[in-house]
Structure 1
Amino acid sequence: MYQPARPTPPLAKLPPAAQWLALLVCSGLFGALLAHLAMPAAHFLGPMLVAIVFGVMGATVRLPRIAFRLGQGFVGVMVAHAMTSTVLLAIINNWPVMMLATVLTVVFSALVGSLLVRYSSLPGSTAVWGTSPGAAAAMTAMAEDYGADPRIVATMQYVRVVCVVVGASLVSRFVADYHGVSSTPQDAFALDAHTFWPFVASIAIVLVGVSLGSRIPAGALLVPLLIATALQLSGWIDLFLPDWLLVIAYGVLGCYVGLRFDRKTVRTVVRSLPVMIISSLVLIVLCGLSAWALAPFLHTDFISAFLATSPGGLDSLAIIAIDIKADAGLVLALQTLRLFGVIVTGPFLAKQMLRLVKEPG
């Protein structure tokens, strides 16, 4: 039986160079617009949303994995600049509450995953891994090892990342009284005699840290963060990353995430997208309620607790936390604790959830 050929997506007709140019221009303009509107993490959020549109419209260009890892490395060094001995002591003193917050997030994700297994058309193991609140890449790789559909798991993970980033940016914009004042480590756009060597040292930390952390979940962010924090607190080096470089790093991260939503992937899961979005929003609301309850015990403000307990997007939430002058140390500590907790307990929890909840059909 004859089937008419599907029309070629509009952006697929353009040569790669033209696609890159259009993506660069549109991402920069939309990021600048969001920054003008005082939206937190505008230079990450803008390129991410533009890249989603480009991916769905058939763009064929993709950022290499190494670009994404380097972007994470720069974010790690940026966060390290905000880490002080006072911040570390506060994290150590609050570890019981942090453990409770981590457990609550994992329990909430298990609850949402169980509901998806029972009431949605998503395959059981896929629904469980798709709602796991860990790093998207790590959860996708682990899910494939345990028989889940990696395409759907990856889509569920990145749908949640988009929901978390947009939701956290909106909450930060209207709850944290953010007025668009950048809180990146430095405001200078040019290097001089005083900042050249700190800049070189910061670049070296990123390169070494990304290389060492390439085989660790979220290692491209965490290893540079740990190295830079240790060297800075010891007084051996100063850190310096100019604004223009951070804007590029944000844009790279945003475009990498956004381009994951290509037309083929969206077509595969289009019927399940509403369920994915609703489940992500439910999980975000539950984590927000836990943040409201735990903020007094963490001795921090609600928005810092909200970012710390939000389910996923370690690098993006770090960007938002720094941008609005939230407690970046607490956010990174809780996000990292949950990441490793999910990696360690994920296979066991997935098996138990599938055993307790009957799959549809």
Structure 2
Amino acid sequence: MKRFSFIALAKLPIGLQWAVLAGGGGLAGYALHQTGLPAALLLGPLAVAICMGVAGTRIRVPRLMFRSGQGIVGLMVAKSVTLGVLLALSEDWYLMLLVTAITLLISAGVGLGLACFSSIPADASAWGTAPGAASAMIAMAEENGSDGRLVACMQYVRVVCVVMLGAWISHLFVGAGDTHLPPIAAELPFTWIGLGMSLAIAFLGALSGNLLPAGALLTTVILGSALQLTGWLDITLNGTLVTLAYGVIGSYIGLRFDRATVKHVARLIPVIVAANVVLILLCSALAWPLSYLFGKDFLSVFLATSPGGLDAMAIIAVETGSDASFVVALQTLRLIGVVLTGSFCAHLIMKWNARVSR
């Protein structure tokens, strides 16, 4: 009997491939969720989607669906925003700027080291280690003539590493059984009007993703928070919607690891993983002293300083009861910094690498 292989998935009808993704991702997420692992319903679909992407599957999650999932996560974060939280964040603005600057310097240093001591081109090293929204960095890299597939692989490998490490650290600090999904559903009585308005805000945020880096998440957080604080909106979600949002985000990221991209950069994968782990550890090392400076728990600061994966970090923060507003605020500030300084840092790394190589 011919043995079944994952490669055979690529030959299945499109409908069956979607069924494998949905069913396999759902089962994997449920199994991980039963262990009490934070963001399990994101990690399960992510793992299944990576396997299917490498196996050569032809399906892709539509970008609008992915951004709608980010919008749902944005609403979850917006629910935790209060006037007191905003006032507390405004008091720490100078520390947040300092942390953002340090993180950018760390990523530039790792990018320079990667350019000097590996065969990865300097421009790809710079864009690949930039701790911002992966899709924005890939687009900016391609606009500047860099290898988009290599940058994409570097960015999404880091996203996966950040999600895995973030979930593991959260599991250690929170403990099995202390996570909950969804945290919003039990807080408000369900109303169709509230649900309809919430979904409208999430969809509006998804549409804004065409205009702003991570706009689907950020627009929803800002707009949802403003409407909630003014009393115009009671954010209403249910467990099914949140679960679907997690699955869509995980599947979208995982399917980015298609066979062509992985084959293109296969020999560089160990170097890429090592560089990303170093970047994550250096950024995370800031969490210990910063937790005292900000007067916050280590887990919240750890999630806030993790390089990239804004939506994933927001999911983990909400599920573990961490300060989601602080996490999103610091991650957003760094995202803005990366977008504004990305081209400058990339050209600077290329100049430094040229000098060192002489």
Task: Compute the TM-score of the two structures, normalised by the length of structure 1.
Answer: 0.94
Partner of 2:203: 207
Partners of 1:36 and 1:180 within 8 A in 2: no
Distance, in Å, in 1 between the alignment partners of 2:321 and 2:196 is 26
Of 299, 308, 322 in structure 2, the residue corresponding to residue 312 of structure 1 is 308
Q: Which amino acid aligns with 1:313?
A: G
Partner of 1:4: none
SS in 1 for 2:58: coil
Of 284, 291, 310 in structure 2, the residue corresponding to residue 288 of structure 1 is 284
Distance 1:200 1:8, change over 3 A: closer
1:270 maps onto 2:269 in alignment: no
Partners of 1:106 and 1:133 within 8 A in 2: yes
Partners of 2:201 and 2:224 within 8 A in 1: yes
Post-superposition CA distance 1:292-324 (Å, at most 9, x none): 111111111111101000000011110000010
Post-superposition CA distance 1:72-118 (Å, at most 9, x none): 11111111011111111111111111111111111110111001000
Distance, in Å, in 1 between the alignment partners of 2:266 and 2:171 is 30
**Cα distance, 1:352 vs structure 2:** 1.2
Partner of 1:121: 119
Partners of 1:291 and 1:302 within 8 A in 2: yes
Distance 1:178 1:105, change over 3 A: farther
Number of residue pairs aligned between Structure 1 and Structure 2: 353
Partner of 2:275: 279
Where does 1:193-204 land on structure 2 (aligned, <5 Å)?
Answer: 194-204=190-200
Distance, in Å, in 1 between the alignment partners of 2:42 and 2:101 is 29
Where does 1:325-340 land on structure 2 (aligned, <5 Å)?
Answer: 325-340=321-336
Distance 1:46 1:304, change over 3 A: same
**Cα distance, 1:8 vs structure 2:** 10
Partners of 2:185 and 2:236 within 8 A in 1: no
Distance, in Å, in 1 between the alignment partners of 2:90 and 2:121 is 40
Distance, in Å, in 1 between the alignment partners of 2:292 and 2:345 is 30
1:66 maps onto 2:88 in alignment: no
Partner of 1:89: 87
**Cα distance, 1:36 vs structure 2:** 0.4
Of 157, 161, 175 in structure 2, the residue corresponding to residue 159 of structure 1 is 157
Partners of 2:68 and 2:205 within 8 A in 1: no
Aligned-residue sequence identity (percent) comes to 47
Of 50, 53, 57 in structure 2, the residue corresponding to residue 52 of structure 1 is 50
Post-superposition CA distance 1:17-68 (Å, at most 9, x none): 1111111111000000110011100111110011001111121111111111
Bigger drift between 314-323 and 94-103 goes to 94-103
Bigger drift between 341-350 and 177-186 goes to 177-186
Of 7, 10, 14 in structure 1, the residue corresponding to residue 8 of structure 2 is 10
Partners of 2:183 and 2:319 within 8 A in 1: no
SS in 1 for 2:151: helix
Partner of 2:134: 136
User: Which blocks of at least 5 consecutive residues in structure 1 are unaligned?
Assistant: 1-6
Distance, in Å, in 1 between the alignment partners of 2:22 and 2:292 is 43
**Cα distance, 1:175 vs structure 2:** 2.2
Partner of 2:255: 259
Partner of 2:105: 107
Post-superposition CA distance 1:227-284 (Å, at most 9, x none): 1100001111211110110000000000000000011110000011011111111111
| Structure 1: 4+ residue segments shifted above 6 A | none
Bigger drift between 259-268 and 345-354 goes to 345-354
Of 41, 44, 48 in structure 2, the residue corresponding to residue 43 of structure 1 is 41
Partners of 2:33 and 2:41 within 8 A in 1: yes
Distance, in Å, in 2 between the alignment partners of 1:43 and 1:186 is 16
Where does 1:320-359 land on structure 2 (aligned, <5 Å)?
Answer: 320-358=316-354
Q: Which amino acid aligns with 1:167?
A: L
Distance, in Å, in 1 between the alignment partners of 2:297 and 2:181 is 17
CA RMSD of aligned residues (A): 1.8
Distance, in Å, in 2 between the alignment partners of 1:265 and 1:311 is 22
**Cα distance, 1:203 vs structure 2:** 0.9
Partners of 2:76 and 2:184 within 8 A in 1: no
Bigger drift between 9-18 and 205-214 goes to 205-214
Q: Which amino acid aligns with 2:52?
A: F
Distance, in Å, in 2 between the alignment partners of 1:148 and 1:63 is 25
Distance, in Å, in 2 between the alignment partners of 1:260 and 1:188 is 34
SS in 2 for 1:256: helix
User: Which blocks of at least 5 consecutive residues in structure 2 are unaligned?
Assistant: none
**Cα distance, 1:288 vs structure 2:** 1.2
**Cα distance, 1:12 vs structure 2:** 1.2
Task: Compute the TM-score of the two structures, normalised by the length of structure 2.
Answer: 0.95
